[in-house]
Amino acid sequence: MGDDYARGQRDGVRLALAVLEAEEAKWAALLGESRSWRTNRTREVRHKTLQVAQTRVQTLLNRLSPKGAIAEVDSELVAALEKAGL
């Protein structure tokens, strides 16, 4: 049961990472589009915040992943993203 729990935990972190990537892409497209400097600055801050969050979640995922199991992680990632519909 420990292995299933760890796999589920990694799947959850991968899903969070995918959501953050989607949000970051949305804000990246809006950078500099407004005529208001305040709106543009707010969008830049949100974009940077999402980038920092992605880095932190990726670090967490790396810590949770077993050492030397890169091929297994890739297959788990594909399965988790398909399951989430992404």
Per-residue pLDDT of 24-70, as tens digits, reads 888 889 999 999 999 999 999 999 999 999 999 888 888 887 776 55
Structure tokens at 82: 């398909």
What pLDDT does 38 receive? 94
- As for how many domains the chain has, the answer is 1
Query: CA 17, CA 15: separation in Å to the nearest integer?
Result: 5
Smallest Cα–Cα separation from 47: which of 73, 67, 20, 76?
A: 20
Q: Are 47 and 27 in contact (CB under 8 A)?
A: yes
pTM score above 0.75 = no
Domain that holds residue 52: 2-84
Query: CA 25, CA 45: separation in Å to the nearest integer?
Result: 14
Q: In which region does residue 34 sit, left (phi positive, over 0), alpha (psi from -120 to 50) or beta (all else)? A: beta
